[in-house]
Amino acid sequence: MATAKVLVVGGGGGGSMNASTDSGGGGGAGGYQYDATYTISQASYEVTVGTGGAGGTSTSQNGNNSVFGTITAYGGGHGGGQGAAGGCGGGNGCAYGGAGGVGNQGYDGGSGYSIGLCGGGGGGSSANGGNGAAGYNAGDGGAGTLNPITGSGYLCGGGGGGTNTSSPTGSGGSGVGGTGAGGASAGTNGATNTGSGGGGGGGFSKAGGSGAAGKVVIRFTTADFPDASVTGVDNTLTTAGDDSTATFIISGDMIFEEESGPANLKSLNGLAKASIKSVNGLVIASIKSWNGLE
């Protein structure tokens, strides 16, 4: 048994637009779950990385859950005509912001303004999405979170920006959420593997951006599990100083192993061979001495 730092981020929700008002709401970020003292043991853990929800026109999709052990980070709610609940709530293209923060994992989406002329931003992992306001001001996406687990810092969970029939558009939360559209343009996607929401879509049936897939990061003391490994293409296991860090950008397995059997057997075999040689040497020397050869 040992402890590890574990970060689990759900997939971001897709942005959408309200076809009747030519504006839309940003998608909510995926849920954010961090445990600095998570107990791990010698075992194989299935790791699920939630994909982002697809952006759309009249409809979009929630993000998908990410899971490691007993930790689940919910997918973000989609934006649109009625912003959806999720890890963080989707922004609304109409009069109300979608509820967010399921399981206290994030914040609410912003409200739309004047029956959708200015959509709300999606909720982020650190703040609510901005509300649409008078003067064609769309709501910004809620702020994300900078987590130090990787050493250099990992910025995740920005909400998608809202949209309006003109400009300015809502910006993505913390620069990782998708940007809302302005006029007849499409929203942009959340930044790759940050669990951020997609930006809302613009007029003339322009789609909202898709939410970004989430991520799972596990940091542990290398000496506790020197033969640990990961599965899944593009998932990585790196070592720096006394720690190892496993980063999952797609689903796979985290395998915690202590020193493997073959290495121990080699050591035992080596000792056995040395002992046999030593015994044989003594026997041969005794025979030579007894025969008067020495």
Q: Are 275 and 200 members of one domain?
A: no
Q: Are 91 and 201 members of one domain?
A: yes
Closest-CA residue to 90 (of 176, 200, 8): 200
Q: Are 278 and 250 members of one domain?
A: no
Cα 229 → chain centroid: 19
Q: Are 222 and 276 members of one domain?
A: no
Q: Are 205 and 291 members of one domain?
A: no
Provide the edge-to-edge strand list for the sheet that holds 236-240. 32-40, 2-9, 215-221, 243-248, 236-240
Task: Output the pLDDT for position 223.
Answer: 96
- In sequence order, the β-bridge partners of residue 6 are 35, 218
pLDDT of 259 strictly over 80: no
Q: Which domain holds residue 91?
A: 1-259
Residue type at position 128: N
Give pTM, 2 decimals.
0.85
| Cα angle value 186/190/247 (rounded, 5°) | 155
Q: Are 180 and 268 members of one domain?
A: no
Count of structural domains, the chain:
2
Q: Are 205 and 294 members of one domain?
A: no
Give the separation between CA 169 and CA 206, rounded to whole angstroms: 14
Give the separation between CA 193 and CA 146, rounded to whole angstroms: 14
Average pLDDT, the chain: 83
Q: Are 244 and 294 members of one domain?
A: no
Higher-confidence position of 120 and 237 = 237
Give the separation between CA 71 and CA 8, rounded to whole angstroms: 7
Phi, psi of 252 (to 5 degrees): -175, -155
Q: Are 190 and 294 members of one domain?
A: no
Read off the pLDDT of each residue in 138-153 and give the average, rounded to a whole number.
92
Read off the pLDDT of each residue in 200-206 and give the average, rounded to a whole number.
79
Phi, psi of 194 (to 5 degrees): -110, -5
Q: Are strands 229-230 and 145-147 parallel, antiparallel or unpaired?
A: unpaired
Name the pLDDT band for 23 (thresholds 50, 70, 90): confident
| Cα angle value 125/130/133 (rounded, 5°) | 175
Q: Which two tokens stand for residue 27?
A: 């998608």
Q: Are 236 and 269 members of one domain?
A: no
Read off the pLDDT of each residue in 62-72 and give the average, rounded to a whole number.
96
- The enclosing H or E element of 262 equals helix 261-290
Name the pLDDT band for 103 (thresholds 50, 70, 90): very low
Task: Output the pLDDT for position 183.
Answer: 74
pLDDT digits (tens, 9 = 90+) for 111-120: 888 665 788 8
Q: Are 269 and 251 members of one domain?
A: no
Q: Are 268 and 231 members of one domain?
A: no
pLDDT of 98 strictly over 80: no
